[in-house]
Structure 1
Amino acid sequence: PLLGCTCKPKLGLSGKNYGRVVYEGLKGGLDFLKDDENINSQPFMRWRDRFLYVMEGVNRASAASGEVKGSYLNVTAATMEEIYKRAEFAKEVGTVIIMIDLVIGYTAIQSMAVWSRENNMILHLHRAGNSTYSRQKNHGINFRVISKWMRMAGVDHIHAGTVVGKLEGDPVIIKGFYNTLLLPKLEINLPQGLFFEMDWASIRKVMPVASGGIHAGQMHQLIHYLGEDVVLQFGGGTIGHPDGIQAGAT
């Protein structure tokens, strides 16, 4: 699996301190850090400042380790024009991955997937807002359907549940989400909630992401339930380490 981490505290850091968290985490051995879904462009840290400081941290950590590192830059904004502007700036400063929130809407998600393909960029989708229509049992949309839509839309990563941790759920059902994102052909599997066959043909798979209240002590459970084709993101579980961020990342 790839190892990542969400920057914490999610709100309140200055751009410079935010970049320091990114550097410490990557230097400690992580592959990625990421913006949280509600980090956007607030008075304490405007988006341009964050992008510049984060990429300084990424570049320094890459040079020190000799490895390819990255940090998901959240380009979510109120209008499509602003999203494109932030994505173009992210490309200019050298990132390999950008991030959007599910709440920007399905048309905007597909537009960003097309832009990312054309600009050789990895597109990470944070499922912010998902619970507003997937948690209710008697109405709404199951996350399995969202998984299919997002695979069709062309995103590269999506948060798909953890089994353990804050976003825990039924292990069999969550395995169904992962299979929906990863398998070239779905077979009927009623316990996983897969009610009919589906051949994905040439549609790319999506890398599932496990994130939310998990830590390295749960690694054996995560690998057992979710497999190895996954991004594991330990946010507070890394940054909250008593010996510091680098120690937590290592």
Structure 2
Amino acid sequence: MTDRDAVGTMAERFTATYRIETPRSAREAAEAMAGEQSASTFVDVEAETADLQERHGGDVVDVTEIGRAPEPTLPGATPEPGDVDEYVRAEVTLSLPLENVGVSVPNLRTAIAGNVFELQSLSGVRVLDVDVPPEYGEECPTPAFGVDGTRELIGVRDRPLIGTIIKPSVGLAPEETASLVETLVEAGVDFIKDDELIADPPYSPFEDRVEAVMSVINDHEAETGKKVMYAFNVTGDVEEMIHRHDVVRDAGGTCVMVSLNSVGLAAVRELRRHAELPIHGHRNGWGALSRCPQLGFEYTAYQKLWRLVGVDHLHVNGLENKFAESDESVIASARAVQDPIPGDDGALPVFSSGQWAKQAPATYERLGNADLLYLSGGGIMGHPGGPADGVAALKQGWEAATSGIPLEEYARDHEELRASMEAFGDDE
């Protein structure tokens, strides 16, 4: 198999970029990957003609060595430890024919991230990116709402969308959830979501929860004109998700949430084709795909697949979060979500995990814009002045950030922000 100049043929092919580790040469490993993910197998077979390889074979576009490691990251690679002195690390880009997968994002994922993870020639493999031509994205469902559509539904244009999560995560009956929602909507929040751990449990049947919560939200809209967006967790079988979407829609709701990794690309694609509401994509389980630097996915590649099947909002953690992700990774993820891809001009990044006013200036400075959903649990519910002051403090923190005024200075004339900093700030 030889390199192929992709210029002029990209409309018929897509590319995938990886970071690999191998006990062999990087070129040899890349060739094995291209063959495994396209038309070749480990032995010659009669039907593998030159013509078939020309039409359906994978090509190695680029191999760039980036380092060496004394020991393998993952077990099972051959030659085995002791048989080689070091393991080569490299970035490789493969080109594969679109005809192999058609307009099918689940099969696109298989082509870039299938058996490649099990190859004996690799002791590490991570999908860094995937690029498809414009016509491919145009044929995919892609987000129906994204940033602008979500802003229009909520009625907020000039600042980040401020939201929160129902806590405790589990255990609240529908009426208890509705009581908490009443407190939150009166506090001035823009967005509320179910926790990912609650969908349709016996203690809180989905339809009962929707009825109770939307009664509060609809009454609040009638009194104030403001429609708070609530993302109901519809995660389940495909038929269940579609039915639950319709329950939310018919009750006047404006968003549904899905645990992406639990239901898969095909299920989300079907929901998107039916949906009349934004899809809030929760990435719980992401750590299993990302925490080992030599295995799994970069978020750049991962989020593209979900946007191609129509997810409008995508979680990216937040700065100084409670999880293992670095601030650099969070910002890179948020930028990736906002960057246009074929068929989609940008989705809405969702910042969460330990967020309060403190992180607003750094988030704004590093991201460069305020097109985001900023979720805060304790920062709202734990504010010493109550939830209304918690929401006000978050808005004031973002006012300071977008105006270029230090929080400490802005807090002198804004009591809610000052109280938040006194309650949640450190001793520095």
TM-score, length basis structure 2: 0.51
Residue in structure 2 matched with residue 196 of structure 1 by the alignment: none
Matched residue count: 231
3-state SS of paired residue (1:222): helix
Which amino acid is 1:11 matched to? V
| 1:150-195 Cα distance to aligned partner (Å, 9 max, x none) | 12121110101212222463333333222222123xxxxxxxxxxx
Once the two structures are TM-superposed, the CA of residue 45 in structure 1 deviates from its matched residue by: 1.2
Which amino acid is 2:359 matched to? Q
3-state SS of paired residue (1:147): helix
3-state SS of paired residue (2:181): helix
3-state SS of paired residue (1:208): strand
Q: 1:94 aligns with which of 252, 272, 280?
A: 252
Q: Does 1:249 align with 2:409?
A: no
| 1:56-109 Cα distance to aligned partner (Å, 9 max, x none) | 1211222333223211011011x2111111111111111111111112111111
Which amino acid is 1:101 matched to? S
Q: 2:379 aligns with which of 237, 240, 244?
A: 237
Contact 1:55/1:93, CA 8 A, preserved across alignment: yes
Contact 1:163/1:225, CA 8 A, preserved across alignment: no
Question: 1 or 2 for the larger relative contact order (CA 8 Å, sep ≥6)?
Answer: 1
The residue correspondences of 1:13-52 to structure 2 (distance < 5 A) are 13-52=172-211
Contact 2:199/2:234, CA 8 A, preserved across alignment: yes
Contact 1:110/1:154, CA 8 A, preserved across alignment: yes
Q: 2:364 aligns with which of 201, 219, 223?
A: 223
3-state SS of paired residue (2:374): strand
Once the two structures are TM-superposed, the CA of residue 201 in structure 1 deviates from its matched residue by: 4.1
Contact 2:351/2:372, CA 8 A, preserved across alignment: yes
Q: Does 1:149 align with 2:327?
A: no
3-state SS of paired residue (2:388): helix
3-state SS of paired residue (2:204): coil
The residue correspondences of 1:100-179 to structure 2 (distance < 5 A) are 100-102=258-260, 103-116=262-275, 119=276, 121-167=277-323, 169-179=325-335
Once the two structures are TM-superposed, the CA of residue 30 in structure 1 deviates from its matched residue by: 1.0
Residue in structure 1 matched with residue 69 of structure 2 by the alignment: none
3-state SS of paired residue (2:297): coil
Distance of aligned partners of 1:71 and 1:170 in 2 relative to their CA distance in 1, 3 Å threshold: same
CA RMSD, Structure 1 to Structure 2 (Å) = 1.8
Distance 1:158 1:70 in 2: 16
Distance of aligned partners of 1:168 and 1:23 in 2 relative to their CA distance in 1, 3 Å threshold: farther
Which amino acid is 2:200 matched to? S
Distance of aligned partners of 1:80 and 1:134 in 2 relative to their CA distance in 1, 3 Å threshold: same
Question: Which 5+ residue runs of structure 1 have no aligned equivalent?
Answer: 185-199
Contact 1:164/1:222, CA 8 A, preserved across alignment: no
Which amino acid is 1:238 matched to? I
Distance 1:202 1:160 in 2: 21
Contact 2:218/2:227, CA 8 A, preserved across alignment: no
Which amino acid is 2:269 matched to? Q
Residue in structure 2 matched with residue 8 of structure 1 by the alignment: 167
Distance 2:201 2:384 in 1: 29
Distance 1:81 1:161 in 2: 30
TM-score, length basis structure 1: 0.85
Contact 2:319/2:355, CA 8 A, preserved across alignment: no
Contact 2:289/2:296, CA 8 A, preserved across alignment: yes
Question: Which 5+ residue runs of structure 2 have no aligned equivalent?
Answer: 1-159, 393-428
Distance 1:40 1:93 in 2: 17
Contact 1:4/1:33, CA 8 A, preserved across alignment: yes
3-state SS of paired residue (2:295): coil
